[in-house]
Amino acid sequence: MATPVPAFTAPAVSRYFPALTGLRACAAYLVFFTHFNPFQNGTGLWKIVHQWNMGVSIFFVLSGFLICTRYIDRLQLSGSWLKKYFRNRIARIYPLYFLMTSLTFLLIGLGVTEDVTRQWHGYTGYQRELMLLFNFTLLRGFFKNIIFTGVAAGWTLTVEECFYALAPLLMLGLARVRQAWLRWGLLPVYAVALLATGVLTVELVPRYMGFFGTHLYMLTYTFPGRCAEFLAGMGLALFLRHHS
């Protein structure tokens, strides 16, 4: 049986926001032009466009907002609910990622194209097997040495999947708090706890293949370092519910 989770008393809000489709498109263009900057390297315009990687932050905030909006009223601690939740999350991301990653490594192996990190031909045996394993399991974002192998921009999916995995627990804590101000106050507590987890991981866990790399790497490329963006999105979802 599913364990009941306290529901919010605020009226339900729409789970579909047409305006966000345009915002996603803008964020996608920002990320695209960051990687394919049309201006000469080092010029003023190049430096401006280079900062458009903020599109990644927009995606992370949107993820926090949409997951919280869609699921916090329907949260259940049951195997069937969690199975459906994770199946939906994987189905939205993994098939296309698997196809693109397979095609990328096939072309690299055939010599048609070069890995952007130029690491594939420098690795042999089990190193290549680990690179493939971490790419296809969405784990490569944890490892500084191989984060940009394969489909380079795919490192963000490691961060996304970490959020998806923890989101039910994060929402459970929010759902069990009745007062709105306490729910919002819980978000920075989450942020501090996750950031502390990242710092301790850097300090205590062996850095095999650059696992969690440095503190700067952790803050830039892992979920503990980027958690505030997802939590900000969750906070926006709570704000919308409270004022709808």
Please give the full DSSP string across 112-154, using - where no structure is assigned.
Answer: SS--TTS-GGG--THHHHHHHHHHHTT-GGGBGGGTTSSSGGG
Rounded Cα gap, residues 191 and 224, in angstroms: 8
Asked, for residue 234, whether it belongs to a domain, the answer is yes
How confident is the model over 104-113, as a mean pLDDT? 86
Where are any strands of DSSP class E within the chain? Answer: none
What is the percent of the chain where pLDDT is above 90?
53
Q: How big is the chain by its Cα radius of gyration, in Å?
A: 20
Residue 152 structural domain:
18-242
- Whether the Cβ atoms of residue 70 and residue 153 lie closer than 8 Å to each other: no
Q: Using CA atoms, how far apart are residues 141 and 150, in angstroms rounded to an integer?
A: 12
Residue 12 covered by a domain = no
Q: Is residue 22 part of a domain?
A: yes
Furthest CA-CA distance within the chain: 62
Residue 198: inside a domain:
yes
pLDDT for the residue numbered 5: 58
pLDDT at 132 over 80: yes
178 class by beta-carbon count within 10 Å (0-12 exposed, 13-18 middle, 19+ buried): exposed
**Residue position matching structure tokens 């698997």:** 98
Residue 10 pLDDT exceeds 50: no
* Look-up of token digits 């070069």: 114
Taking all residues of the chain, what is their mean pLDDT, rounded to a whole number? 87
DSSP single-letter state for residue 9? -
3-class SS of residue 107: helix
Q: How much is the average pLDDT of 203-216?
A: 93
Task: Say which range, 104-108, 113-117, 151-155, 183-187, has the weakest mean pLDDT.
Answer: 113-117
Whole-number pLDDT of residue 3: 52
Contacts of 197 (CB under 8 A, 6+ apart): 224
pLDDT at 243: 77
Global model pTM greater than 0.75: yes
The closest alpha carbon to 67, from 236, 192, 226, belongs to 236
Q: Which residue has the higher pLDDT, 75 or 222?
A: 222
Nearest to 56 by CA among 184, 152, 167, 188: 152
In a domain, 10, yes or no: no
Please state the domain count of the chain.
Answer: 1
- Is residue 4 included in any domain, yes or no? no
Distance CA 184, CA 232 (A): 10
Q: How many CB atoms are closer than 10 A to CB 8?
A: 17
Residue 151 burial (CB count, 10 A): 17
Residue 145: partners with Cβ closer than 8 Å, 6 or more residues away: 119, 209, 210
Residue 7 has pLDDT above 60, yes or no: no
Q: What is the pLDDT of residue 144?
A: 93
- Of 31, 17, 29, 6, which is closest to residue 151 (Cα–Cα)? 31
The answer to whether residue 38 sits within a structural domain is yes
Tokens of 5: 């989770």
Residue 144 lies in a domain: yes
